[in-house]
Structure 1
Amino acid sequence: MTYAQLKAEIIAYSISIGIDKIGFAATDPFLELKERLITQQKLGYQSGFEEADIEKRVSPELLLPKAKSIIAIALAYPSKMKNAPLSKKLERRGLFCRASWGEDYHTILRNKLAKLEAFILEKDPSAKLVSMVDTGELSDRAVAERAGIGWSGKNCSIITEEFGTYVYLGQMITTIPLPPDKPITEQCGTCTKCIDACPTGAIVQGGQLDSNKCIAFLTQTKTFLADEFREKLGNRIYGCDTCQQVCPENKGKDFHLHEEMEPDPEVVKPLLRELLFISNREFKEKFGSLSGAWRGKKPLQRNAIIGIAHYKDTTALNDLEKLLKEDPRPVIRGTAAWTIGKLATNQSESILKAAKEREKDANVIAEIDKGLNMLKNQII
């Protein structure tokens, strides 16, 4: 069997197991990516979640000696939710981004890659393979771009002709020299809709992202959210879809090809107040299967508290007061204090003053002071 024939068989098998798109790339070092990563590092635009060693991110042979090709895969996920509950008075809801709907995509893609590995090893038992999804050393986007899965858009996502940006990506490095595919030429043209619409200006220019300003990143942080970003968060609990929603290439794109990717509306649009006192066990049972649960409940609870401020939901005042009195975590107490100030109810000032008398944590006291200062400038 020639390598071209093996490639054809791999493609056919990938379709049979529900891989929506597959491409093949050479293992030459990603030199252009290297320059971009060095620039990102110098500018302080990295999130800290990435592999720190740039050489590993751009050199496939460091990850698999004698690597000869990379197989890139893409799976399309839904962009629209069926039977989505409305966020209304007394029932204010948060939102998980589309990439966190359904079962954790890491699990889904790893299962597909494991099946693909088994098939390839059946054809060539001497082959060496290394697969990765998202958290691996290689850049999913750079591999997918080189393999012809799609082009790298100005919104820093891979844009596929068939599915727009609504795809999960994974890759497999192999010692088999499979014929490479041609990269797709960038097709964003003069469009800057994603850059213009980014709530925090995180897309510095086409294809360059300041991760520390990106709401998708900020929703995953565990510390106090900087004041400048709180107003921008809205009701987002995890992630942000703005740069995808405004992309013209996503117009009309909504694929429901994988049952495990279908969202449970009550899970991905949760009631904000129900998140405030959820136990670790309840959190794991309800949200544990989502990719958005990987950082635990604390960031999501903090975001829910900010979501209450966004909606000016004064019915949550007693819940916030309870958090401010009893929660052991300074970030939660402090964010609750800030939100109490934002709500500006008749009780807000007395609640905050009482809290300030008993509070010992300097950061929480600073948040209480922010709340009190906001009240000075509002009619209560």
Structure 2
Amino acid sequence: MNQDPIFSPSEFVDVFNQSIEYSFPFVTVEGELSNFRVSKNRWVYFDLKDDEATVKCFGTVYMLPGPLEDGMLVRIVCSPRLHPQFNFSLNVQSITPVGEGQLAKAAELLFKKLEAEGLFLVERKREVPYPPESICLITSLGSAAHADFMKITAERWPALKISTIDSLVQGANAPEQIVESIDKANKSGINYDAIVLIRGGGSAEDLAAFSDERVVRTISASRIPTCVAIGHEIDESLAELACDLRASTPSNLAELLVPDKQTEQNWLRNSKMQTSLALGSVIKRAKDYLSNANNLINSRMARMFSTENERLNSYSERLKLLNPKTILKRGYAMVKDKNGKLITKGANLQKGESVDIIFTDTSRRAEII
């Protein structure tokens, strides 16, 4: 006769946990949050209940998406465990509010908390280099958002270098992967000009990762400027409020990040043409100025030379009139004594004195009688 196995309490707990781990390694449970509390800023305890049952849950603060309140409807991903001393509980890996109302309430609580810390201040935002030389793109590879962003940046600015990190952008594991991807970009040693986080639109639950406290804090603390676009124009996620540059869609963000190559080329051509015209105008004005200045100088020099020439001619005429030879030519003569001294008065001459009479062409000796 077969005898059923007999277990000690600890043995039964071990067997039970092995069995349940094999059958249910991870389960997803939805219920109303109650008795929520945080212990020592590390451990999280709460009950998950519905109208017929209540189960105790345990986790760490690191898996929290943000502040939570009793009465919220939440979804948890967990591992069932039977503890040797604390009975049956669910070991929680992630917790997410369920439904737009609950998500909005959770986001509002987190917004107030982070706003009080100054995470959304405009003064904190940094300028993203324009155009950037290289960026790190974090998104789901193969998604429409990824394809649109790559297409538009390639068309507008082919010189942009893009490194892509594949990451979940929705679901329970998305916040952790996004945080790891941002940290990886910051620690890569590559001097990215920006980290770009994008996804397409979706429901409030699809976009919940972008209002997760872990994601928002990581974006705010990033060494590299951050850009976020989630393709949802109605409501802003907290990630968008915390980042340095946000856009309504991934396509719009691509247009904000880089200029259009054709537009820039046209601008360069127009600038070159305008510069050439402006330079030509400057050169022409300079030539005209120099020509006018030269004409003015020549005119002034001519007038000056004419004036000086007239003055010199006047002086020359005066000198000619004062020249003794000119006077002699008019019939006058000069009388000098024997010593060659000019005699101007006849009273100064004595009878018998010899004088020299000088004419324009010769001189004669005469005696006073």
Larger Rg computed on CA atoms: 2
Higher strand share: 2
RCO comparison, higher one (Cα < 8 Å, 6+): 1
Coarse TM-score class (shorter-chain normalised):
under 0.3
Taking structure 2 as the reference length, the TM-score comes to 0.24
